[in-house]
A and B are shown apart, each in its own frame.
Chain A
């Protein structure tokens, strides 16, 4: 793995860390497996790209992407709570609907951002190589969002959101409404995912309606890898773990892309297999650990 590849993988790890933070909010905090993210990642990319192409500032684009993501996520939460549609299905419905919406927003399935202004322009020309700039921006952005998420989860409403995931009956018994927690929680989660999409479109040079493929898998993998390596003793550690998990996930893909021993080299056609193996290993880790622990006692 070269230095350049490493920087690229770190950058993607942090950008997808934003997305994974969103997945953590739904999947772990709210206990709401939300599949809308496969649609809201390209939604964020589409909104941001359309804004930039229309002559708007990239920062406005990112802001609008967040708003659009929150809207789409809130829609999932709304139909799941108010219309009592099963959460998995609610997410799938939003995801497939967004496919058409995203094409509408862009006016085409693919919108190129090559040679257009991006949020990375502001830092170009400072005393660092141009390919490090997106990494720095990604780290700052994900760091900011992590702190905001931590603070949010410690507010009164944030505690209600966590309780809604842990023990909805208790929340209801306390006279609070779990619906609001779910709608706003899923909304914020997808807002983060959309911002990740916006960031990605700018660093990759285009927004594409197909760029959401595999988002939920990467998100879940990052959450689980994070829990395995960092743990989830506190909100602070859990959100940190999610970001670290995302970085590890991308590093492994990068390593797999560069890995070669003699004539044997892992090609990209083995990638999905490697990804699945990695996730499996992370998923199985707690079970294996427990087995070994119980054996040590006996």
Chain B
């Protein structure tokens, strides 16, 4: 009896495996693989922009293009398996959203063209040798925040600010790079930076509270952990009248007073345009240089600004691409 169950389970596994074996052998003309490390608003927007751009420009489902989207749910081992699955599925091109997804993809194929998106520093991640001439089978778009312009805006809105506070996750490679860049840029402008590291969303409130009295403004970079718990920072900033700036636009609707940021949807579209060049055969991926975001978004929240003790001038409001009422 029990042995029979055991064999049934094994049999089911075999059938399951073969079913998927035959299923994946169905003929499809153009297959594009997408691998993404985790569900996240910015990364999801990137993917949506990419797909929209392709669909509107002759690479849609009706044009015979099939998109395989896989998400690793923040598990590196699964991300590695996804990379191998995409290679095994013989996709014509891969979009790798985020640094770890791109690294896992680059580790398993030297032939399939890989476009990365939402990667902050592709050179440090050793994805490409140089931004202008990546060579090999990989290129893409970067999401590096315009730190210099962000600090310029910060000084324009809060002219007296001398000390900037920031909360960041010391385990996120992008955040560590951002904080280092903020410090370098701040030094050029005669500003000092006080950083408060966290390792989980639960620590964010305490870290923000630790900055009270030590800083004039708080600037949050595109840190996944801190942005996830942004409300706790907003609360501290409102209570203590500390102006709060963000580096992603979604955070403005959630309570930051301003953000000059990369628009991830547009970044996705920009990556889509690169993909069309490669798929169309007009350009080889080795010849595509890594691209930056062309137009930045400025979101403003005058109501929150008032709660944090600053007024947004007409000149600033006029430049805003979106004003939250």
User: A residues within 8 Å of B by Cβ?
Assistant: 1-9, 12, 16, 96, 99-100, 103, 108-110, 112-116, 131, 200, 203-206, 208-211, 213-214, 218, 228-229, 248, 250-255, 257-261, 267-269, 271-272, 281, 285, 288-289, 292-293, 296
Residues of B with C-beta under 8 A to A12:
77, 80-81
Taken together as a complex, chains A and B put the C-alpha atoms of A200 and B80 apart, in Å, by: 9
- CB-nearest residue of chain B relative to A130? B110
Cβ-defined contact, B84 with A9, below 8 A: yes
A103 and B170 contact, Cβ closer than 8 Å, known pairs A267-B69, A268-B82: yes
Query: Looking at chain B, what size class is its interface with the partner chain?
Result: 35 or more
Cβ-defined contact, A229 with B6, below 8 A: yes
Partner of B171, one of A6, A99, A114, A293: A99
Let me know if B89 is at the binding interface, CB within 8 A.
yes
Q: Is the interface of A mostly helix, strand, loop or mixed?
A: helix
Let me know if B306 is at the binding interface, CB within 8 A.
no
Let me know if B108 is at the binding interface, CB within 8 A.
yes
Residues of A with C-beta under 8 A to B125:
110, 112, 114, 206
Of the candidates B103, B127, B172, the one having the most CB atoms from chain A within 10 angstroms of its own CB is B103
Let me know if B263 is at the binding interface, CB within 8 A.
no
- CB-nearest residue of chain A relative to B128? A114
Cβ-defined contact, A210 with B76, below 8 A: yes
Partner of A260, one of B6, B20, B80: B20
Q: List 13 A–B pairs whose Cβ atoms lie within 8 Å, in order of A's numbering.
A: A1-B21, A2-B89, A5-B87, A5-B88, A8-B85, A112-B126, A112-B127, A114-B126, A115-B126, A131-B108, A204-B80, A218-B77, A285-B9
Cβ-defined contact, B13 with A293, below 8 A: no
Taken together as a complex, chains A and B put the C-alpha atoms of A99 and B165 apart, in Å, by: 24
Nearest CB of A to B18, in Å: 9
Cβ-defined contact, B171 with A103, below 8 A: yes
Let me know if B227 is at the binding interface, CB within 8 A.
no
Number of A-B contacts (CB under 8 A): 177
Taken together as a complex, chains A and B put the C-alpha atoms of A99 and B252 apart, in Å, by: 31
Return the CB mask of B1-26 against A: 1 if under 8 Å, else 0.
Answer: 11001100110010011011101100
Residues of A with C-beta under 8 A to B80:
8, 12, 200, 203-204
Residues of B with C-beta under 8 A to A114:
103, 106-107, 125-127
Nearest CB of B to A93, in Å: 14
Cβ-defined contact, B23 with A4, below 8 A: no
Residues of A with C-beta under 8 A to B87:
4-5, 8, 131
Cβ-defined contact, B126 with A9, below 8 A: no
Let me know if B72 is at the binding interface, CB within 8 A.
yes
A261 and B23 contact, Cβ closer than 8 Å, known pairs A268-B71, A293-B1: yes
Cβ-defined contact, B78 with A204, below 8 A: no
Let me know if B130 is at the binding interface, CB within 8 A.
no
A5 and B84 contact, Cβ closer than 8 Å, known pairs A112-B103, A210-B76, A260-B24: yes
Cβ-defined contact, B13 with A253, below 8 A: no
Partner of A209, one of B71, B106, B171: B171
Interface residues of B in 114-154 (CB under 8 A from A): 124-127
Residues of A with C-beta under 8 A to B89:
2, 5, 258
Let me know if B70 is at the binding interface, CB within 8 A.
yes
Return the CB mask of B78-104 against A: 1 if under 8 Å, else 0.
Answer: 111111110111100000000110011
Residues of A with C-beta under 8 A to B6:
228-229
Partner of B81, one of A254, A259, A272: A254
Let me know if B62 is at the binding interface, CB within 8 A.
no
Partner of B5, one of A112, A253, A289: A289
